[in-house]
Amino acid sequence: MPSYVAPIQDYRFLLHHVIKMQDHTDLPPYQEATPDLIDAILEEAGKISTELLHPLNQSGDAQGCRLDGDQVLTPDGFKDAYRTYCQGGWLSLVGNPEYGGQGLPRILGLAVDELAVSANWGLAMYAGLTNGAAAAIDVWGTDIQKQAYLPRMLSGDWAGTMNLTEPHCGTDLGLIRTKAEPAEDGSYRLTGTKIFISAGDHDLTENIIHLVLARVPGGPEGVKGISLFIVPKILIKDDGTLGERNAVSCGALEHKMGIHSNATCVMNYDGATGYLLGDLHEGMRAMFTMMNEARLGVAVQGLAIAEIAQQNAATYARDRLQGRALTGPKAPDKAADPIIVHPDVRRNLMLNRAFIEGARALVMWTGLQVDLSHSHPDEDRRKGALDFVALLTPVLKSYLTDEGFQATSRALQCFGGHGYIREWGMEQFMRDARIAPIYEGTNGIQAMDLIGRKLPADNGRAIRAYFALIQQAIDDIPEDDRLKNYAASLEQAKEALQKASLWLMEHAMKNPDHAGGAAQNYLNLMALNALGHMWLLMAKEAYSHLQLNDGDADFMHNKLKTADFFFAHILPDSQAYLAKITAGADSIMALEAEAF
Amino acid sequence: MPSYVAPIQDYRFLLHHVIKMQDHTDLPPYQEATPDLIDAILEEAGKISTELLHPLNQSGDAQGCRLDGDQVLTPDGFKDAYRTYCQGGWLSLVGNPEYGGQGLPRILGLAVDELAVSANWGLAMYAGLTNGAAAAIDVWGTDIQKQAYLPRMLSGDWAGTMNLTEPHCGTDLGLIRTKAEPAEDGSYRLTGTKIFISAGDHDLTENIIHLVLARVPGGPEGVKGISLFIVPKILIKDDGTLGERNAVSCGALEHKMGIHSNATCVMNYDGATGYLLGDLHEGMRAMFTMMNEARLGVAVQGLAIAEIAQQNAATYARDRLQGRALTGPKAPDKAADPIIVHPDVRRNLMLNRAFIEGARALVMWTGLQVDLSHSHPDEDRRKGALDFVALLTPVLKSYLTDEGFQATSRALQCFGGHGYIREWGMEQFMRDARIAPIYEGTNGIQAMDLIGRKLPADNGRAIRAYFALIQQAIDDIPEDDRLKNYAASLEQAKEALQKASLWLMEHAMKNPDHAGGAAQNYLNLMALNALGHMWLLMAKEAYSHLQLNDGDADFMHNKLKTADFFFAHILPDSQAYLAKITAGADSIMALEAEAF
């Protein structure tokens, strides 16, 4: 059975020394988040993840969800664990304090998310979706709506969902057919079928607040005629108590590859009562509020599953005796050496470690930008931070989930045949990990979002600022050969990204397929730059701690050793990405569709 | 539900025009394999795969195997399908004609394998393991043993297995504990536990012939004291009829990520009667007879699963309407364009196609070398061919299974959320595909086999011959810009491989960890060279067919278009592999084991 320990030392290093939260006291939520409070939150989140959530992960996968009539039942133990999690305030951590949330920095919410998802992805999703729905109501709801829903959602008494996909439409939401007919009382009656609805129904809460995209008859065609509606599972009476069951129900549970403990529902709306959220026909805009936060959340899932897979692979590699080290026996008193002595096993563990620690830094750095974009008193700072969030969200969603899946696969591989067997838990991690590159917009869509929307926005303001930021990190590196080498490697990767950007500007105008064909490679090249940026910042901090004889010297040395690996064994892929981007789309598009 | 069509046109192109089987009539088995016979075999194998094997693939996964007492029951329909398959002569295709086999070229056996595995991996494995065990008996058995077992195994009446792994020993077979005590009648009594035994027990055949590695007390320690034994499930009486049940049984079925329809058994030997196969203490040598063939078979599995996943992804991408082409609507009369218009979808399909067609050519080319090594009248030619088989077997096993898994994942991704749902079948392909990089020696072990054993053997004779072969293909390319560009790209990749080889020779002596740390990247770099070699040969053939106005022009053009893609979008990874190889192992090995 797999085990889990929260990576708290790494988070402390990141939050206190790399991100330096204590330097951002111009952000109101950061004023209250003292280092002591941050440490206490991390400790407690680690404890609840390890002790409450993780023990239900494997049994939850084995048992899965069941449909009993039109009521979905979650696996044994989930209801109690969820209640304890919510009562501990974990769901409401970053929620709006006016409605019962704790108003802590979003960066901490992302950190706690990683821990919860590592421990139990399926269970953590119920809370994550509730938070996403609450965030959308918080931004787009009327005061009455916020009063009606947010306190009960943030307390965990009610849950939330997002209802976008229909059988014939996933990515292309302009094809949505679910209808919302206006009723006389100002509410709407929704009719249609939604599929792939995560946490669409369950028994964890007394009510579920569905946010549903639908079309009001007579509106514009395509995405411009879509509105967002609040559709409670149980209707709420004027006095705030629960009334009748609404005409919405789970018609079927999907049988999936993984995340079995999270109910993926076909939802049937049969004249269900709904309430417009935000403006008529502005549903896409409102939905994107949820989607951007959700996409960062999915990026964290990629990181989280890699972390728990890596922990278990490392433990196994230290325990499993097989073969002898190439450089001579390391455990001569035993029948064989532990397999961690073998360079190829070690290489896989290092690939994972360098990815995980870099990705975690990147999530935290992006989390800081999220907080800056929400809370900085200066509008320009807010705008600049929002540029970075917008630019990096697709990069994180795509790269962290693709590479999170690969890292999980490498971790499984360390187990040999045991990795393929259920009892060790690794194959569950793989099955769970495979959803993340798909949902909340496939990774191909993320790449198109980056290249089609985020890059050209405001004449490339965001990417230019990002290049300047990386250059500054390169320029700021201390006079030390090792660090200077890192900086020189990053500069090469940056130049590759700049060349790729120029190539795109030049060629995509003539033929947009060049943009589409290059998009995923471009995104990955940017991700390597972003990770390189993080590794440079982390290495600089580790170096200066060692210079000052400050902190845990082993930890700092290990950071530098892992940085060595990142710059030598991962960053070189930059040049291959550049070669593929500049190879263009001609050979990608040359075949007739029928020839496949 | 997924569908499958055998890629027969591609096989005809490869066998008749690239491999040119008809030019190898100095090989006895090739004399009988006329083009007409080959085509008929491919057609019939395609038919039986599509009509008999494939319809049981999804139900076999859903139902899995069950243990009833100590008897394993296979999924519904498997027994009849297996009998029909064997009665059709598919199992005995390349078997020794002296014992009822058809003695056809092994290259055809590999082609038929691909079709069967695409259609139903779990079912095909029962036949594959029987063939592997029969091959070992054919090489190492006494005449009496061959007479006793081979006719019944090749007819499919009896099945076969390989029993290597024990709970504490997988890769490191020197740790084997299963004991074989000599009995007075010259047989042995085997006692011990074997795990992960594929097809270890089942109800498809009236008997199962286990080949079991065990240790005769008093022999040398480690791998030098291991012998191979024949242990029938049902003992065979002197008259050849079946007698008593032997003391071997399936103690448990493993719960696995995939290949559910193939029984993976814990096998208990409780004083089971066994018969020495080959010489005492020479079990490893005998086992390798099976293992090398088995490793090529696993490489084919990687190719096969990619093929069926790709077929279904292409169909889905042509059918699914979502979004509009970047270059303007392609299906203006429909609500949206088919997603195959999107360059990123197309890029994934092209990555798969270029891999699959290159890998198939490489399997066929290696299959020719296998046949040459067995049947060529000239000893030097046999030896030279065997060099190539030995060199390339680990490359094919590792690269084709790793990339087969990635290709399957890319195919799944084309389905979006539908790829994650059981009914579409893609998630089964992924779960099935994940075993191939693990079994028959993990891919890390393949890389060590290549770099530690195959490269240095006979002072690098094999790799030097291989470089010469690639150079010859480069030199032989016709005067045509497009083809010359391919050749120039391959020459760069070859130079990268040569630089990597030199770097290894220089550094691995000083520190063997440099070899271990570089092994997987080196193997992948060699695989890209091998695929590049195949693409050059195929492109040359397609080009000359077009020059001569011979054959299906669309097919030939598509080969060249796919070659364009391979050289532009896949081969550039060569330089990244070289960079990682020459980065060395220092940063791979720098951390203490406890730091992970």
3-state SS string for A159-189 = EEEEECCECCECCCHHHCCCEEEECCCCCEE
Rg of chain B, C-alpha, whole Å: 24
Joined together, the tokens standing for residue B458 give 């006979």
Axis crossing angle, helix A379-414 with helix A461-475, rounded to the nearest 10: 70
User: Is B527 contained in some domain?
Assistant: yes
| Chain centroid to CA B287 | 17
CA dihedral A98, A102, A104, A109 (to 10 degrees): -120
CA distance A87 to A110: 19
CA distance A561 to chain B (A): 6
A342/B413 Cβ within 8 A = no
Which of B307, B357, B427, B440 is flagged as catalytic?
B440
- Percent of all residues in chain A with a pLDDT value above 90, rounded to a whole number: 97
Domain co-membership, A477 together with A495? yes
CA distance A555 to chain B (A): 9
* Confidence (pLDDT) at A333: 96
Q: Beta strands B158-163 and A207-215: pairing type?
A: unpaired
Q: Does A552 touch chain B (CB under 8 A)?
A: no
**Measured between alpha carbons, how far is residue B111 from residues A205, A281, B240, B279 in Å?**
56, 57, 34, 33
CA distance A269 to A276: 15
Confidence grade of residue A588 (pLDDT, cut at 50, 70, 90): very high
Using DSSP's 3-state secondary structure scheme, residue A193 falls into strand
User: Is A300 contained in some domain?
Assistant: no
Question: Does position A171 have pLDDT exceeding 90, yes or no?
Answer: no
Question: Does position A303 have pLDDT exceeding 90, yes or no?
Answer: yes
Q: What is the DSSP string of A264-325?
A: EEEEEEEEEEEEEESSTT-HHHHHHHHHHHHHHHHHHHHHHHHHHHHHHHHHHHHH-B-S--
Question: What is the extent of the structural domain holding A572?
Answer: 446-589
Q: Does A64 touch chain B (CB under 8 A)?
A: no
Rg of chain A, C-alpha, whole Å: 24
CA distance A1 to B374: 47
Q: Does A523 touch chain B (CB under 8 A)?
A: no
From the list A165, A347, A405, the residue facing B417 with the nearest CB is: A165
DSSP state of B74: P
Chain A residues in contact with B516 (beta carbon < 8 A): 326, 342-344
Which of B265, B284, B303 is the C-terminal boundary of a domain? B284
User: Is B410 contained in some domain?
Assistant: no
A172/B323 Cβ within 8 A = yes
Burial degree of B333 (CB within 10 A; 0-12, 13-18, 19+): exposed
Domain co-membership, B117 together with B172? no
* Confidence (pLDDT) at A509: 87
Chain A residues in contact with B561 (beta carbon < 8 A): 587, 590-591
B517/A343 Cβ within 8 A = yes
From the list B349, B565, B591, the residue facing A587 with the nearest CB is: B565
How does the average pLDDT of chain A come out, rounded?
Answer: 97
Task: Read off the pLDDT of residues A449-472 as tens digits, 9 standing for 90 and up.
Answer: 999 999 999 999 999 999 999 999
Using DSSP's 3-state secondary structure scheme, residue A240 falls into coil
Q: Does A168 touch chain B (CB under 8 A)?
A: yes
Residue B289 identity? T
**Measured between alpha carbons, how far is residue B451 from residues B89, B440, B454, B515 in Å?**
39, 17, 6, 7
Tally the residues of chain B.
Answer: 596
Task: Select from A169, A132, A502 the least CA-distant residue to A295.
Answer: A132
Residue B405 identity? F
Chain B residues in contact with A594 (beta carbon < 8 A): 318
- Those of residues 95-124 in A touching chain B at CB distance below 8 A are none
A438/B172 Cβ within 8 A = no
Phi and psi, residue B498, nearest 5°: -65, -45
Joined together, the tokens standing for residue A539 give 């290495």
Task: Read off the pLDDT of residues A11-49 as tens digits, 9 standing for 90 and up.
Answer: 999 999 999 999 999 999 999 899 999 999 999 999 999
CA distance B64 to chain A (A): 14
Q: By CA distance, what is B196's nearest residue in A?
A: A417
A575/B583 Cβ within 8 A = no
* Confidence (pLDDT) at B291: 81
Residue A196: its H or E element: strand A188-198
DSSP state of B240: S
User: Is B125 contained in some domain?
Assistant: yes
A594/B342 Cβ within 8 A = no
B413/A444 Cβ within 8 A = yes
User: Is A426 contained in some domain?
Assistant: no
User: Is A521 contained in some domain?
Assistant: yes
- Those of residues 256-315 in A touching chain B at CB distance below 8 A are 256-258, 310, 314
Predicted complex ipTM: 0.97
Q: Does A507 touch chain B (CB under 8 A)?
A: no
Q: Which residues contact A44 (CB under 8 A, 6 or more apart)?
A: A88
Domain co-membership, B138 together with B169? no
Domain co-membership, A517 together with A582? yes
CA distance B25 to B376: 10
- Those of residues 200-229 in B touching chain A at CB distance below 8 A are none
CA distance B421 to chain A (A): 4
Other beta carbons within 10 angstroms of residue A382's beta carbon come to 16
Domain co-membership, B146 together with B168? no
From the list A327, A434, A573, the residue facing B430 with the nearest CB is: A434
* Confidence (pLDDT) at B509: 87
Joined together, the tokens standing for residue B3 give 């569908």
Q: Which residues contact A546 (CB under 8 A, 6 or more apart)?
A: A553, A556, A557, A560
B591/A561 Cβ within 8 A = yes
Domain co-membership, A148 together with A56? yes
Q: Does A89 touch chain B (CB under 8 A)?
A: no
Q: Does A408 touch chain B (CB under 8 A)?
A: no
Burial degree of B524 (CB within 10 A; 0-12, 13-18, 19+): buried
- The mean pLDDT of A409-423, rounded to a whole number, is 97
Phi and psi, residue A275, nearest 5°: -125, 130
Task: Select from A485, A489, A482, A498 the least CA-distant residue to A560.
Answer: A482
CA distance B219 to A285: 76
Q: Are B529 and B391 in contact (CB under 8 A)?
A: no
Domain co-membership, A135 together with A195? no
CA distance A272 to A450: 37
* Confidence (pLDDT) at B286: 86
Q: By CA distance, what is A348's nearest residue in B?
A: B588
CA distance B467 to chain A (A): 23
B341/A520 Cβ within 8 A = no
Chain A residues in contact with B596 (beta carbon < 8 A): 310, 314, 317-318, 340, 349, 353
**What is the tally of structural domains in chain A?**
3
Which of B284, B302, B335 is the C-terminal boundary of a domain? B284
Other beta carbons within 10 angstroms of residue A83's beta carbon come to 14
| Predicted structure pTM score | 0.98
- The mean pLDDT of A65-91, rounded to a whole number, is 97
Which of A249, A284, A319 is the C-terminal boundary of a domain? A284
Chain B residues in contact with A576 (beta carbon < 8 A): 572-573, 575-576
Q: Are B413 and B419 in contact (CB under 8 A)?
A: yes
Active site residues of A: 440
Joined together, the tokens standing for residue B586 give 């220092």
Domain co-membership, A245 together with A209? yes
B350/A588 Cβ within 8 A = yes
Mean pLDDT lowest among A279-288, A328-337, B188-197: A279-288
Phi and psi, residue A2, nearest 5°: -70, 160
Give the CATH number for residue A12: 1.10.540.10
- Over chain B (596 residues), the average pLDDT of each successive run of 10 is 97 98 95 95 98 98 96 98 98 97 97 98 97 95 98 98 94 93 98 98 98 96 95 96 97 97 98 97 86 92 98 98 95 96 98 98 98 96 97 98 98 98 97 97 97 95 98 97 98 98 94 97 98 98 97 97 98 97 98 96
CA distance A428 to A31: 40
Domain co-membership, A554 together with A521? yes
Mutation site for B-interface testing, chosen from A353, A569, A573 by largest number of B Cβ within 10 Å: A569
Q: Does A587 touch chain B (CB under 8 A)?
A: yes
- Percent of all residues in chain A with a pLDDT value above 70, rounded to a whole number: 100
Q: By CA distance, what is A586's nearest residue in B?
A: B565
* Confidence (pLDDT) at B138: 96
Domain co-membership, B137 together with B184? no
Domain co-membership, B450 together with B584? yes
Chain B residues in contact with A595 (beta carbon < 8 A): 554, 558
Domain co-membership, B192 together with B91? no
* Confidence (pLDDT) at A118: 98
Task: Select from A576, A574, A492, A566 the least CA-distant residue to A536.
Answer: A566
Other beta carbons within 10 angstroms of residue B499's beta carbon come to 14
From the list A256, A520, A583, the residue facing B344 with the nearest CB is: A520
CA distance A317 to A6: 19
Chain B residues in contact with A588 (beta carbon < 8 A): 343, 346-347, 350, 565, 569
Chain A residues in contact with B573 (beta carbon < 8 A): 576
User: Is A422 contained in some domain?
Assistant: no
User: Is B496 contained in some domain?
Assistant: yes
Alpha helices (H) along A434-460: 443-448
